[in-house]
C-alpha cells in the first residue's frame, strides 16, 4: 500500500466534511415576489421551504440594514402573515417583535405568505409605486432562524410593463426575473431594482459594471462610463485587486436626491436628476460613487471585527466607524482628485468645507471620535435640535483624521509610504490571510507599521480625546496653512438657526454658549420682534446692532408672548480656506506631490 501524503489526507477529510455537510442540509427556500397593488406600495411575498426536519421553525425579519447603523424595526411593515402545509393552515405565533414561531413536527414543506408595505424613499429602505420597485432585501425577506447559511431562489413577477431587474444576485438559467443567493448574508447585501430603468455598462480591470438609472436625469452616460472607470482604476490601484466579477450601481435620480449605501457587489446611490451638468453637481456625484465603491474593500471586506458575522436581531457595536466611514469619506475626494477630473484647488476647497463643518460644531468639544462611532446606533441616525451641540460626525472628523495620518506617514517616510499602504496591508493581512475583521489595537498597529512610530499620543488626542486638531502642523507638512476669512469679523450673533422655507421665524437650533443659549431663547420659539421692530427675515434680525448691545427679543412660546433680554455676543463662526505657505521646502513639496498626485 502506497503512503498517502498528509496534504492528500487533509483534502479527503475536507471533501468528506463538505459533502456530508451539504447532504445534511437538504433545505430548499424559494420566494415568489409579486406586485398586484404596486400603486398602493405593496409587495406580496410567498416563501416556500422544503426539506424541513425540525419540530419548530422560527421565521425572522432583520431589524436593521448593514451599513446603516440604526434599528429600524422592519417587521412593522409586514401584514397578513399566514402559513400552511399540505394545503392546511398552520398557526404562526409572533413571539418577538421580529420573530414568528411555527410548530412543524412531521412536516417537511411549509408555505408562508405575507405582504410588505414599502413607501420610504431612501437608499436603505424599500420603496414601491407604479413606476418601479426598489427592494432593500433586509426589510423584505423573512428568513428561517439558525439558517442564515441557506441558499434561496427569488422569482419576481413584475408589475404591468416592468421589464428590467438590476441587482448583483446571479440569474438562474439566464432568466432576468429569477435570481439566486448562496446565503442570507449575500441576499441581505443585494438590493433589487425592478422597473423600466435605463441600464448601461462598462468594463474596468476585468470586472463588468452595470449602471442602473431610475428616475431620469440630464446625465451623459458616455461621460459617466469613462469617468466611473477612472474612479474604479484608482481604487483598484490601492488594493491591488477587485474582488468582484461584476458590480452594480443602482442610482435613484430625484428632484433632490442624495446619500448612498454600500453592498458587497453593488451600491445604491441617491442623486439629483438635474445636477449632472453643473460642475459642482457632477463632482459631488463622482465623489459619492467613489465613496460607496471604495466600501467594497473598506468595511465590506476589510472590516471592524464587530461587523461580521452580523447579528440581524440586535445592534452591532464598534468604535471604528471612523475608519469604516471616515476613511472612506477621505478617500472619496482624494480618489477623484487622482483621476485628474478636478484640480488640486477644487480638492483643497472641499477639504476646507469639511474642516469648517467640524470646527463650527460645538459637539467637537463634547464627543470623541470613538464615542461617535459607538453611539451611532442611538445618536447619529436620530439627530435632534441639540445634536450639533453634543455630537460630531464620524464621517467628517474621521476623514480629517485620515488626512492627518496620510500626511504624517508620507512625511515620515519621505514619500515612500502613504495611507494607501496601510489600507492594502490591512486588507491582505485580515481579509485575505486571517479572514476576519480587525480589532482596535490591530488597526492601530497597522498604522504604526507605516508611520514608523507609536501613535498612543495621536489616539489620545484625536480618537479618544477632545484635543483641537493642529492643522498648522499637519497641513504645514505639505506646505499649506489654514486662513480664517472671518478672523477680523466682529459681527454680533444670537446663535440660532430658524426653520427654512416657512414665513414665520421659528427657532430650529440654539448654539451652545451663544447669546441665545445664555439668555434663554429656546428651540420652537417664534421670533416676533427685536427691540419692538417686527422680525421679518432671519438674515436681518440684528441689522445695525453691535457686540455687547442689550436687546429685547419678543417671542411667542407655546402661544404666549414674552420679552427676553439678550446681550449680544461676537459670532464664533469660522470660515477657513487652505492657502499655500510661501517658499515651501523640498520636503514639503515631496509630501504635497505624493498627497495631491501632482504631475
Using one digit for the tens of pLDDT, what is the confidence trace for 354-365? 999 999 999 999
Q: Is the pLDDT of residue 2 over 70?
A: no
Q: Is the pLDDT of residue 19 over 50?
A: no
What distances in angstroms separate CA 144 from CA 56, 78, 91, 101, one per listed residue? 10, 16, 16, 10
Contact 344, 337 (CB under 8 A): yes
What distances in angstroms separate CA 21 from CA 17, 24, 44, 58, one per listed residue? 6, 5, 33, 22
Looking at residue 12, its pLDDT comes to 34
Distance CA(515)–CA(552), nearest Å, equals 12
Using one digit for the tens of pLDDT, what is the confidence trace for 483-503? 999 999 999 999 999 999 899
Using one digit for the tens of pLDDT, what is the confidence trace for 395-439? 999 999 999 999 999 999 999 999 999 999 999 999 999 999 999
Contact 568, 551 (CB under 8 A): yes
Looking at residue 501, its pLDDT comes to 87
Distance CA(485)–CA(569), nearest Å, equals 19
Joined grid coordinates for residue 420: 494607501
Looking at residue 315, its pLDDT comes to 97
Contact 403, 332 (CB under 8 A): no
Contact 248, 168 (CB under 8 A): yes
Using one digit for the tens of pLDDT, what is the confidence trace for 285-321? 999 999 999 999 999 999 999 999 999 999 999 999 9
Distance CA(509)–CA(502), nearest Å, equals 15
What average pLDDT does the structure give for the chain?
94
Closest CA to 261 of 429, 93, 65, 85: 65
Looking at residue 598, its pLDDT comes to 87
The span from the first CA to the last CA of the chain, in angstroms, equals 67
The pLDDT-based confidence of 25 (bands split at 50, 70, 90) is low
Q: What number of CA atoms fall less than 13 Å from residue 319's CA on the CB side?
A: 13
Looking at residue 9, its pLDDT comes to 33
Phi-psi region of 427 (alpha: psi -120 to 50; beta: other; left: phi over 0): alpha
Closest CA to 352 of 180, 143, 579: 579
The pLDDT-based confidence of 224 (bands split at 50, 70, 90) is very high
Joined grid coordinates for residue 461: 488626542
Distance CA(211)–CA(318), nearest Å, equals 32
Amino acid at each position: 500500500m502506497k503512503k498517502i501524503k498528509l496534504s492528500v489526507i487533509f483534502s479527503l477529510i475536507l471533501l468528506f466534511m463538505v459533502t456530508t455537510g451539504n447532504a445534511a442540509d437538504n433545505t430548499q427556500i424559494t420566494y415568489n415576489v409579486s406586485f398586484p397593488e404596486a400603486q398602493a406600495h405593496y409587495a406580496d411575498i410567498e416563501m416556500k421551504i422544503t426539506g424541513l426536519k425540525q419540530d419548530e421553525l422560527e421565521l425572522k425579519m432583520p431589524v436593521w440594514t448593514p451599513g446603516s447603523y440604526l434599528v429600524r424595526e422592519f417587521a412593522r411593515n409586514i401584514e397578513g402573515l399566514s402559513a400552511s402545509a399540505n394545503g392546511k393552515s398552520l398557526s404562526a405565533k409572533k413571539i418577538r417583535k421580529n420573530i414568528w414561531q411555527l410548530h412543524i413536527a412531521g412536516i417537511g414543506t411549509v408555505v408562508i405568505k405575507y405582504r410588505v408595505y414599502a413607501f420610504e424613499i431612501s437608499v436603505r429602505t424599500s420603496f414601491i409605486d407604479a413606476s418601479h420597485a426598489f427592494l432593500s432585501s433586509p426589510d423584505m425577506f423573512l428568513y428561517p432562524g439558525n439558517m442564515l447559511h441557506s441558499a434561496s431562489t427569488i422569482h419576481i413577477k413584475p408589475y404591468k410593463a416592468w421589464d428590467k431587474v438590476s441587482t448583483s444576485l446571479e440569474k438562474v438559467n439566464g432568466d432576468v426575473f429569477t435570481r439566486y443567493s448562496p446565503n442570507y448574508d449575500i441576499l441581505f447585501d443585494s438590493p433589487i431594482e425592478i422597473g423600466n430603468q435605463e441600464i448601461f455598462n462598462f468594463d474596468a480591470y476585468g470586472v463588468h459594471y452595470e449602471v442602473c438609472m431610475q428616475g431620469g436625469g440630464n446625465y451623459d452616460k458616455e461621460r459617466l462610463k469613462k469617468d466611473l472607470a477612472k474612479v474604479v482604476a484608482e481604487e483598484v490601484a490601492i488594493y491591488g485587486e477587485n474582488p468582484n466579477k461584476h458590480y452594480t450601481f443602482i442610482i435613484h435620480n430625484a428632484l433632490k436626491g442624495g446619500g448612498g449605501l454600500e453592498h458587497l457587489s453593488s451600491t445604491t446611490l441617491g442623486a439629483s436628476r438635474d445636477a449632472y451638468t453643473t460642475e459642482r453637481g457632477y463632482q459631488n456625484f463622482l465623489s459619492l460613487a467613489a465613496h460607496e465603491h471604495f466600501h467594497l474593500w473598506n468595511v465590506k471586506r476589510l472590516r471592524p471585527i464587530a461587523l461580521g458575522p452580523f447579528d440581524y436581531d440586535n445592534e452591532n457595536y464598534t468604535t471604528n466607524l471612523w475608519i469604516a466611514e471616515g476613511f472612506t469619506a477621505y478617500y472619496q475626494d482624494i480618489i477623484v482628485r487622482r483621476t485628474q477630473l478636478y484640480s488640486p484647488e477644487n480638492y483643497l476647497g472641499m477639504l476646507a468645507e469639511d474642516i469648517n463643518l467640524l470646527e463650527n460644531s460645538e459637539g467637537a468639544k463634547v464627543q470623541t471620535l470613538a464615542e461617535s462611532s459607538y453611539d451611532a446606533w442611538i445618536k447619529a441616525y436620530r439627530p435632534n435640535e441639540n445634536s450639533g451641540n453634543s455630537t460630531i460626525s464620524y464621517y467628517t472628523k474621521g476623514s480629517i483624521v485620515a488626512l492627518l495620518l496620510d500626511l504624517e506617514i508620507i512625511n515620515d517616510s519621505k514619500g515612500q509610504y502613504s495611507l494607501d499602504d496601510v489600507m492594502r496591508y490591512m486588507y491582505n493581512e485580515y481579509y485575505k490571510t486571517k479572514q476576519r475583521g480587525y480589532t482596535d489595537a490591530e488597526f492601530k498597529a497597522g498604522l504604526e507599521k507605516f508611520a514608523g512610530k507609536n501613535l498612543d499620543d495621536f489616539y489620545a488626542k484625536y480618537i479618544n480625546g477632545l484635543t483641537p486638531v493642529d492643522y498648522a502642523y499637519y497641513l504645514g507638512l505639505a506646505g499649506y496653512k489654514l486662513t480664517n476669512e472671518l478672523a477680523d469679523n466682529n459681527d454680533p450673533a444670537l446663535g440660532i438657526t430658524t426653520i427654512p422655507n416657512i414665513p414665520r421665524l421659528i427657532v430650529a437650533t440654539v448654539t451652545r454658549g451663544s447669546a441665545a443659549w445664555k439668555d434663554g431663547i429656546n428651540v420652537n420659539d417664534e421670533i416676533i420682534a427685536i427691540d419692538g421692530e417686527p422680525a421679518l427675515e432671519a438674515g436681518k434680525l440684528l441689522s445695525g446692532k453691535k457686540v455687547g448691545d442689550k436687546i429685547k427679543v419678543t417671542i411667542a412660546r407655546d402661544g404666549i408672548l414674552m420679552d427676553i433680554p439678550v446681550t449680544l455676543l461676537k459670532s464664533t463662526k469660522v470660515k477657513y480656506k487652505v492657502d499655500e505657505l510661501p517658499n515651501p521646502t523640498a520636503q514639503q513639496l515631496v509630501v504635497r506631490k505624493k498627497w495631491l498626485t501632482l504631475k
